Protein backbone atom coordinates (compact mmCIF):
# COMPACT_ATOMS: atom_id res chain seq x y z
CA UNK A 1 0.00 0.00 0.00
CA UNK A 2 2.89 2.35 0.78
CA UNK A 3 4.33 1.69 -2.69
CA UNK A 4 0.96 2.40 -4.31
CA UNK A 5 -0.15 5.45 -2.29
CA UNK A 6 3.01 6.75 -0.61
CA UNK A 7 4.08 6.91 3.04
CA UNK A 8 2.40 9.12 5.64
CA UNK A 9 5.75 9.46 7.43
CA UNK A 10 4.56 7.49 10.44
CA UNK A 11 4.91 3.92 9.25
CA UNK A 12 1.62 3.84 7.38
CA UNK A 13 0.29 4.79 3.96
CA UNK A 14 -1.45 7.97 2.84
CA UNK A 15 -5.18 7.68 3.47
CA UNK A 16 -8.23 9.82 4.14
CA UNK A 17 -10.74 8.77 6.78
CA UNK A 18 -14.39 8.36 5.93
CA UNK A 19 -15.37 11.34 8.08
CA UNK A 20 -12.77 13.63 6.51
CA UNK A 21 -13.98 12.66 3.05
CA UNK A 22 -17.63 13.06 4.02
CA UNK A 23 -16.94 16.55 5.38
CA UNK A 24 -15.60 17.61 1.98
CA UNK A 25 -18.70 16.46 0.07
CA UNK A 26 -21.68 18.87 -0.01
CA UNK A 27 -24.81 17.17 1.32
CA UNK A 28 -28.29 18.61 1.70
CA UNK A 29 -31.32 16.89 3.16
CA UNK A 30 -34.12 16.84 0.59
CA UNK A 31 -36.99 17.26 3.02
CA UNK A 32 -37.67 18.90 6.36
CA UNK A 33 -39.57 16.76 8.90
CA UNK A 34 -42.40 18.14 11.00
CA UNK A 35 -40.97 17.24 14.40
CA UNK A 36 -37.48 18.53 15.02
CA UNK A 37 -35.27 19.13 18.01
CA UNK A 38 -33.11 22.15 17.27
CA UNK A 39 -29.53 22.18 18.54
CA UNK A 40 -27.76 25.51 19.04
CA UNK A 41 -24.08 25.36 19.98
CA UNK A 42 -22.66 28.15 22.15
CA UNK A 43 -18.91 27.51 22.26
CA UNK A 44 -16.17 29.99 23.13
CA UNK A 45 -15.99 33.34 24.88
CA UNK A 46 -19.21 35.38 25.01
CA UNK A 47 -18.85 38.67 23.16
CA UNK A 48 -21.19 41.50 22.27
CA UNK A 49 -22.69 41.77 18.79
CA UNK A 50 -22.29 39.52 15.77
CA UNK A 51 -19.31 37.17 16.00
CA UNK A 52 -17.87 34.42 13.77
CA UNK A 53 -17.85 30.74 14.58
CA UNK A 54 -15.53 29.78 17.40
CA UNK A 55 -16.85 32.53 19.67
CA UNK A 56 -20.28 33.31 21.06
CA UNK A 57 -21.77 36.51 19.72
CA UNK A 58 -24.70 37.72 21.79
CA UNK A 59 -26.64 38.81 18.71
CA UNK A 60 -25.50 35.76 16.71
CA UNK A 61 -26.67 33.10 19.19
CA UNK A 62 -29.85 35.06 19.98
CA UNK A 63 -30.63 35.11 16.25
CA UNK A 64 -30.19 31.32 16.01
CA UNK A 65 -32.46 30.79 19.02
CA UNK A 66 -35.03 33.13 17.48
CA UNK A 67 -34.82 31.16 14.24
CA UNK A 68 -35.65 27.99 16.17
CA UNK A 69 -38.48 29.76 18.00
CA UNK A 70 -40.11 30.93 14.77
CA UNK A 71 -39.74 27.57 13.01
CA UNK A 72 -43.01 25.66 13.44
CA UNK A 73 -41.28 22.33 12.80
CA UNK A 74 -39.04 22.84 15.85
CA UNK A 75 -40.73 21.48 18.97
CA UNK A 76 -37.90 21.80 21.49
CA UNK A 77 -34.35 23.12 21.69
CA UNK A 78 -31.07 21.84 23.09
CA UNK A 79 -28.56 24.58 23.88
CA UNK A 80 -25.08 23.08 24.01
CA UNK A 81 -22.90 25.33 26.18
CA UNK A 82 -19.11 25.19 26.29
CA UNK A 83 -18.01 28.59 27.58
CA UNK A 84 -16.20 30.24 30.51
CA UNK A 85 -18.35 33.34 29.98
CA UNK A 86 -17.58 36.86 28.83
CA UNK A 87 -19.72 39.93 28.25
CA UNK A 88 -22.52 40.39 30.81
CA UNK A 89 -24.62 42.35 28.30
CA UNK A 90 -24.29 39.68 25.60
CA UNK A 91 -25.08 36.93 28.13
CA UNK A 92 -28.34 38.67 29.01
CA UNK A 93 -29.24 39.06 25.33
CA UNK A 94 -28.92 35.28 24.90
CA UNK A 95 -30.76 34.48 28.15
CA UNK A 96 -33.69 36.67 27.08
CA UNK A 97 -34.05 34.61 23.90
CA UNK A 98 -33.96 31.37 25.92
CA UNK A 99 -36.78 32.79 28.03
CA UNK A 100 -38.69 33.72 24.87
CA UNK A 101 -38.47 30.09 23.70
CA UNK A 102 -39.95 28.93 26.99
CA UNK A 103 -42.71 31.52 26.77
CA UNK A 104 -43.50 30.25 23.25
CA UNK A 105 -44.10 26.77 24.66
CA UNK A 106 -40.89 25.22 23.33
CA UNK A 107 -38.91 23.41 26.04
CA UNK A 108 -35.22 24.30 26.30
CA UNK A 109 -32.67 21.83 27.68
CA UNK A 110 -29.14 23.04 28.31
CA UNK A 111 -26.40 20.49 27.77
CA UNK A 112 -23.21 21.59 29.51
CA UNK A 113 -19.96 20.47 27.94
CA UNK A 114 -16.55 20.73 29.63
CA UNK A 115 -17.09 24.33 30.84
CA UNK A 116 -20.27 26.30 31.43
CA UNK A 117 -19.23 28.83 34.03
CA UNK A 118 -20.07 32.45 34.86
CA UNK A 119 -21.55 33.82 31.62
CA UNK A 120 -21.88 30.23 30.46
CA UNK A 121 -24.14 29.64 33.46
CA UNK A 122 -25.94 32.96 32.92
CA UNK A 123 -27.14 31.88 29.46
CA UNK A 124 -28.14 28.46 30.86
CA UNK A 125 -30.11 29.28 34.00
CA UNK A 126 -33.44 30.14 32.33
CA UNK A 127 -33.75 26.77 30.55
CA UNK A 128 -36.44 24.27 31.49
CA UNK A 129 -33.71 21.87 32.55
CA UNK A 130 -29.94 22.00 32.87
CA UNK A 131 -27.93 18.84 32.28
CA UNK A 132 -24.23 18.67 33.12
CA UNK A 133 -21.54 16.02 32.99
CA UNK A 134 -19.96 14.94 36.29
CA UNK A 135 -16.70 16.73 35.44
CA UNK A 136 -18.26 19.87 33.92
CA UNK A 137 -16.79 23.07 35.36
CA UNK A 138 -19.67 25.39 36.18
CA UNK A 139 -20.84 27.97 38.70
CA UNK A 140 -18.47 30.95 39.00
CA UNK A 141 -21.45 33.21 39.69
CA UNK A 142 -19.81 36.61 39.88
CA UNK A 143 -19.05 39.75 37.91
CA UNK A 144 -16.17 42.18 37.45
CA UNK A 145 -15.26 45.20 35.38
CA UNK A 146 -12.36 45.95 33.05
CA UNK A 147 -11.49 49.56 32.27
CA UNK A 148 -8.40 50.06 30.11
CA UNK A 149 -6.12 53.01 30.87
CA UNK A 150 -2.61 53.83 29.66
CA UNK A 151 -1.31 56.45 32.10
CA UNK A 152 1.51 54.27 33.52
CA UNK A 153 2.74 53.22 30.11
CA UNK A 154 2.65 56.81 28.90
CA UNK A 155 4.52 58.00 32.00
CA UNK A 156 7.28 55.49 31.28
CA UNK A 157 7.95 57.18 27.94
CA UNK A 158 7.69 60.70 29.35
CA UNK A 159 4.14 61.54 28.28
CA UNK A 160 2.06 63.17 31.03
CA UNK A 161 -1.37 64.79 31.13
CA UNK A 162 -2.87 67.30 33.54
CA UNK A 163 -5.90 69.54 33.87
CA UNK A 164 -8.40 71.28 36.14
CA UNK A 165 -11.91 69.96 36.79
CA UNK A 166 -14.93 70.92 38.87
CA UNK A 167 -16.73 67.55 39.20
CA UNK A 168 -15.80 64.14 40.69
CA UNK A 169 -15.53 62.67 37.19
CA UNK A 170 -13.44 65.41 35.62
CA UNK A 171 -10.32 64.24 33.86
CA UNK A 172 -11.28 60.57 33.81
CA UNK A 173 -9.96 58.96 30.65
CA UNK A 174 -7.54 56.47 29.16
CA UNK A 175 -4.57 58.80 29.68
CA UNK A 176 -5.22 59.79 33.31
CA UNK A 177 -6.67 56.72 34.98
CA UNK A 178 -9.69 56.48 37.27
CA UNK A 179 -10.14 58.72 40.29
CA UNK A 180 -11.89 57.81 43.53
CA UNK A 181 -15.29 59.14 42.46
CA UNK A 182 -15.32 57.23 39.19
CA UNK A 183 -14.05 54.11 40.95
CA UNK A 184 -16.94 54.27 43.45
CA UNK A 185 -19.47 54.65 40.64
CA UNK A 186 -18.01 51.65 38.79
CA UNK A 187 -18.09 49.59 41.99
CA UNK A 188 -21.78 50.43 42.49
CA UNK A 189 -22.47 49.18 38.97
CA UNK A 190 -20.62 45.93 39.67
CA UNK A 191 -22.52 45.37 42.92
CA UNK A 192 -25.80 45.97 41.08
CA UNK A 193 -24.74 43.48 38.41
CA UNK A 194 -23.94 40.85 41.02
CA UNK A 195 -27.31 41.30 42.72
CA UNK A 196 -28.97 41.01 39.32
CA UNK A 197 -27.06 37.76 38.65
CA UNK A 198 -28.00 36.06 41.93
CA UNK A 199 -31.61 37.27 41.70
CA UNK A 200 -31.96 35.68 38.25
CA UNK A 201 -30.49 32.43 39.56
CA UNK A 202 -32.86 32.62 42.53
CA UNK A 203 -35.91 33.10 40.30
CA UNK A 204 -34.98 30.40 37.78
CA UNK A 205 -33.65 27.76 40.17
CA UNK A 206 -36.28 28.17 42.92
CA UNK A 207 -33.69 29.11 45.52
CA UNK A 208 -33.55 31.99 47.95
CA UNK A 209 -31.02 34.72 47.24
CA UNK A 210 -29.20 33.75 50.43
CA UNK A 211 -28.88 30.16 49.20
CA UNK A 212 -27.60 31.37 45.84
CA UNK A 213 -25.11 33.74 47.48
CA UNK A 214 -23.74 30.87 49.55
CA UNK A 215 -22.75 28.99 46.37
CA UNK A 216 -21.93 32.10 44.33
CA UNK A 217 -19.23 34.74 44.94
CA UNK A 218 -17.21 33.34 42.05
CA UNK A 219 -16.99 29.79 43.44
CA UNK A 220 -16.40 27.09 40.82
CA UNK A 221 -18.14 23.70 41.01
CA UNK A 222 -17.99 20.40 39.20
CA UNK A 223 -21.18 19.14 37.57
CA UNK A 224 -21.79 16.71 40.44
CA UNK A 225 -21.29 19.43 43.05
CA UNK A 226 -23.58 21.76 41.09
CA UNK A 227 -26.27 19.07 41.15
CA UNK A 228 -25.92 18.75 44.92
CA UNK A 229 -26.24 22.54 45.29
CA UNK A 230 -29.27 22.81 43.00
CA UNK A 231 -27.54 24.67 40.18
CA UNK A 232 -28.27 21.91 37.63
CA UNK A 233 -31.06 19.35 37.33
CA UNK A 234 -29.44 16.19 36.04
CA UNK A 235 -26.18 14.49 35.21
CA UNK A 236 -25.99 13.39 31.60
CA UNK A 237 -24.32 13.82 28.23
CA UNK A 238 -25.48 15.37 24.97
CA UNK A 239 -27.51 12.31 23.93
CA UNK A 240 -29.31 12.37 27.28
CA UNK A 241 -30.16 16.05 26.68
CA UNK A 242 -31.64 15.23 23.27
CA UNK A 243 -33.73 12.44 24.77
CA UNK A 244 -34.93 14.74 27.58
CA UNK A 245 -35.85 17.49 25.10
CA UNK A 246 -37.93 14.96 23.15
CA UNK A 247 -39.61 13.82 26.37
CA UNK A 248 -40.50 17.37 27.41
CA UNK A 249 -41.99 18.02 23.95
CA UNK A 250 -43.84 14.66 23.95
CA UNK A 251 -42.07 13.49 20.80
CA UNK A 252 -41.81 9.79 19.98
CA UNK A 253 -40.11 10.29 16.61
CA UNK A 254 -38.04 13.30 15.64
CA UNK A 255 -35.00 14.54 13.76
CA UNK A 256 -32.15 16.61 15.15
CA UNK A 257 -31.72 19.96 13.42
CA UNK A 258 -28.41 21.80 13.91
CA UNK A 259 -29.07 25.53 13.75
CA UNK A 260 -25.90 27.23 12.52
CA UNK A 261 -24.89 30.65 11.30
CA UNK A 262 -24.26 30.34 7.55
CA UNK A 263 -20.72 30.95 6.42
CA UNK A 264 -19.96 34.00 4.32
CA UNK A 265 -18.89 33.26 0.71
CA UNK A 266 -15.27 33.96 1.67
CA UNK A 267 -15.40 31.70 4.75
CA UNK A 268 -17.05 28.94 2.73
CA UNK A 269 -14.41 29.20 0.01
CA UNK A 270 -11.52 28.98 2.49
CA UNK A 271 -13.14 26.08 4.36
CA UNK A 272 -13.78 24.11 1.18
CA UNK A 273 -10.26 24.85 -0.05
CA UNK A 274 -8.67 23.56 3.15
CA UNK A 275 -10.79 20.41 3.06
CA UNK A 276 -9.92 19.72 -0.55
CA UNK A 277 -6.21 20.26 0.11
CA UNK A 278 -6.31 17.79 2.98
CA UNK A 279 -8.34 15.20 1.08
CA UNK A 280 -6.53 15.51 -2.26
CA UNK A 281 -2.94 15.89 -1.06
CA UNK A 282 -3.09 14.42 2.42
CA UNK A 283 -1.93 17.72 3.93
CA UNK A 284 -3.07 19.16 7.24
CA UNK A 285 -2.35 22.89 7.26
CA UNK A 286 -2.30 23.02 11.06
CA UNK A 287 0.51 20.46 11.08
CA UNK A 288 2.84 22.94 9.35
CA UNK A 289 3.51 24.79 12.62
CA UNK A 290 6.79 23.43 14.09
CA UNK A 291 6.29 21.42 17.27
CA UNK A 292 8.78 23.65 19.13
CA UNK A 293 6.62 26.71 18.42
CA UNK A 294 3.24 25.17 19.28
CA UNK A 295 3.31 26.10 23.04
CA UNK A 296 4.25 29.71 22.25
CA UNK A 297 1.71 29.96 19.43
CA UNK A 298 -1.01 28.50 21.64
CA UNK A 299 -0.23 30.92 24.50
CA UNK A 300 -0.20 33.93 22.19
CA UNK A 301 -3.51 32.86 20.70
CA UNK A 302 -5.07 32.48 24.15
CA UNK A 303 -3.89 35.93 25.27
CA UNK A 304 -5.09 37.53 22.02
CA UNK A 305 -8.46 35.81 22.29
CA UNK A 306 -8.88 36.98 25.90
CA UNK A 307 -8.17 40.62 25.02
CA UNK A 308 -10.46 40.51 21.99
CA UNK A 309 -13.31 39.16 24.13
CA UNK A 310 -13.40 42.32 26.29
CA UNK A 311 -15.96 44.27 24.25
CA UNK A 312 -18.87 44.66 26.66
CA UNK A 313 -20.49 48.11 26.15
CA UNK A 314 -20.49 48.73 29.92
CA UNK A 315 -17.21 46.99 30.67
CA UNK A 316 -18.99 44.39 32.84
CA UNK A 317 -17.91 40.76 32.53
CA UNK A 318 -19.18 37.43 33.84
CA UNK A 319 -16.07 35.43 33.01
CA UNK A 320 -14.26 32.63 34.80
CA UNK A 321 -10.61 33.47 34.21
CA UNK A 322 -9.38 30.19 35.70
CA UNK A 323 -11.77 27.87 33.87
CA UNK A 324 -9.80 27.29 30.66
CA UNK A 325 -9.21 23.57 30.27
CA UNK A 326 -5.80 22.72 28.80
Nearest one of 75, 73, 91, 71 to 83, comparing CA atoms: 91
Is 118 known to be catalytic?
A: yes
Q: Is-contact 316 194, C-beta < 8 A?
A: no
Q: Is-contact 112 233, C-beta < 8 A?
A: no
CA distance 144 to 180: 17
Up-side HSE of residue 324: CA atoms within 13 Å toward CB?
A: 11
- Going by C-beta distance under 8 Å and a sequence separation of 6 or more, which residues neighbour residue 110? 78, 79, 80, 81, 116, 124, 127, 129, 130, 131, 241
Q: How wide is the angle at C-alpha 205 spanned by C-alphas 202 and 211, nearest 5°?
A: 50
- Going by C-beta distance under 8 Å and a sequence separation of 6 or more, which residues neighbour residue 122? 85, 88, 91, 92, 95, 197, 200, 318
Find the catalytic residue in 45, 91, 111, 118: 118
* Active site residue ranges: 118
Amino acid sequence: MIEAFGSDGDGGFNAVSYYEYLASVPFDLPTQPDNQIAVVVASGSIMDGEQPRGTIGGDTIASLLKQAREDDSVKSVVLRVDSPGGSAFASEVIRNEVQALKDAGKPVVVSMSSVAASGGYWISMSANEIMAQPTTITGSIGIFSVITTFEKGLNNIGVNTDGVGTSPFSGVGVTRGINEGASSAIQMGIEHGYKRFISLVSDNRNMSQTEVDNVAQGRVWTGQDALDHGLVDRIGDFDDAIARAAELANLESYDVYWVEEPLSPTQQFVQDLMKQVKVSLGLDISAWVPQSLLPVATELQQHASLMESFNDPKGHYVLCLTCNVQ
